[in-house]
Chain A
């Protein structure tokens, strides 16, 4: 079982309570960013492009607890920046565990091995380790050779000490579906609890603005990767969200589903866009012009987004919206293979990963330009 029953029960009862109360907009997971500083400099990341005085700032544990209490979600994701660089991350985690919040501490795991002693294994704490694929793919994606080995060392040590560990993988244009599938095998053999996936989002502030997957390509890529699944693969995500990524479902965005709190305040409108900040969660809900966001709004900033922060909450809400949603979820959970001969054909098409292109080689044919995903 990828997620403890107690966690599933807590989340299910929370969502049902929101539905019974008739709340039109309710949060599902709080994205708590206690700092923006990071020890990686990934070209596709738009979270760390700030002046030094902003990167030095940290939320205090008290500020984190206030945000968590205000928002009221049963799950708290702690991304960043790199949360393990926060000077009081142990205090923040301790306080959230005391509040019985299910925490996903999102880390690149470069520091995991040396910081593990700060934490105690708990059903409430999961290290969600950022690994973008097999060794060469990951190192290239995060712009750090040797990063994969350090992360895997951290994962092994955390598992050995009894911590819950998942992986989270962001896929950009040029991802090789066969390699991603091999990576799933590798992670399952390593013993992680489950895996999370997301297409890369086109952050305004990211240095790289050319390798974000469009929706059409995202669906083909995820169809190739997630069809004909092996029974050993476990995903720590809504099965309906995975079907959405594969192009089997359409959802409208739920930008308030995973609200973000950081050193600037409550981010409008979502985890990915920065269109201003509110001082309180209620102000965020009340003053954000929600109709201006989501792919269906026609907002070009939302055009390619299929990211969990907007759509996984939509999938979860669908699950609890009636018998059809429950049935679809149960069916997705029980019949996980997704046999698809066409997707197998896609896997047989050649795909050259982005890092196979050497710009130093002078003889360049059209085919050798940054390769597009052929899935």
Chain B
């Protein structure tokens, strides 16, 4: 068993990409998938959706084939040749127990939690900074989200 590499996950490596000539490193274009409920009809759909869930910055809700639901943050996954030999690991929202779930046991997936970084672009910060500077209203700051 092995985890897919980043190179595998993002498609083939661009041969024209010479790291030593890079001026600005290309960042990641995050898809807006908050609220998405992917179809899990085929093995390929399951694998793609769970890889996106692993990369997602918020919580997901997984419905198992016994109809039970688990909401939490996916922090690990290991993919094997079959769905039975592939699994993810999740920290549930409401407990400290680490849960290991086989891909084969998953009936449905929902990107149910808020993406905590969405909407916090650098441009948004620059705009806020200059709005404060222009109007003279206090100090410009981005505040961490409330944990409540």
Residues of chain A whose beta carbon lies under 8 Å from any beta carbon of chain B: 37-44, 48-57, 140, 143-146, 173, 202, 204-217, 263-265, 268, 273-277, 289, 292, 295, 297-304, 354-355, 357-360, 372
Could you tell me which residues of chain B, from 21 to 39, have a CB within 8 Å of some CB in chain A? 21-30
Please name all residues of chain B whose beta carbon is closer than 8 Å to the beta carbon of A202 when the two chains form the complex. 25-28
Q: A49-B57, A276-B78 are in contact. Are A43 and B6 (CB under 8 A)?
A: no
Identify which of B94, B117, B123 contacts A49 (C-beta below 8 A): B117
List A contacts of B142 (CB < 8 A).
40-43, 143-144
Residue from B23, B28, B117 in contact with A214 in the complex, judged by beta carbons closer than 8 Å: B23
- Indicate whether A275 sits within 8 Å of B6 (C-beta atoms), given known contacts A41-B144, A145-B140: yes
Q: Are B139 and A50 in contact (CB under 8 A)?
A: no
Chain A, Cβ-Cβ closest to B133:
A358
B residues contacting the other copy or chain, number (CB 8 A): 64
On chain A, the residues within 8 Å of B19 by CB distance are 214-215, 295, 302-304
What residues on A are CB-neighbors of B41 within 8 Å? Answer: none
Q: Which B residues lie within 8 Å of A212 (CB)?
A: 24-25, 27
B76 is an interface residue with CB less than 8 A from chain A? yes
Q: A51-B58, A53-B91, A289-B2 are in contact. Are A207 and B78 (CB under 8 A)?
A: no
Chain A residues within an 8 Å CB radius of B5: 275, 289, 292, 299
A215 partner residues in chain B, CB cutoff 8 A = 19-22
B141 touches A173 (CB 8 A): no
- CB contact under 8 A between A300 and B13, given known A43-B122, A275-B3, A277-B89: yes
Contacts of B26 on A, CB cut-off 8 Å? Answer: 202, 300, 303
Taking a contact as CB atoms under 8 Å apart, the answer to whether B134 and A360 are in contact is yes
Contact of A359 among B6, B30, B77, B130 (CB under 8 A): B130
- Chain B residue numbers with a CB within 8 Å of A44 are 122
Cα–Cα distance between A146 and B27 once the two chains are bound (Å): 29
Closest A residue, CB atoms, query B148: A52
**CB–CB B29/A209 < 8 A:** yes
For the complex, is B44 an interface residue (Cβ under 8 Å from A)? no
Question: A359–B24 contact, CB under 8 A?
Answer: no
CB-CB < 8 A to B133: which residues of A?
Answer: 358
Question: Knowing that A40-B142, A53-B73 are A-B contacts, what are 9 other residue pairs whose CB atoms are under 8 Å apart, sorted by A's residue number?
Answer: A51-B58, A209-B27, A211-B24, A274-B75, A299-B6, A355-B129, A358-B130, A359-B127, A359-B130
Is B126 a contact of A300 with CB atoms below 8 Å?
no
CA distance A54 to B58 in the complex (A): 10
Contact A52 B76 (CB under 8 A): no
A299:B7 contact, CB within 8 angstroms: yes
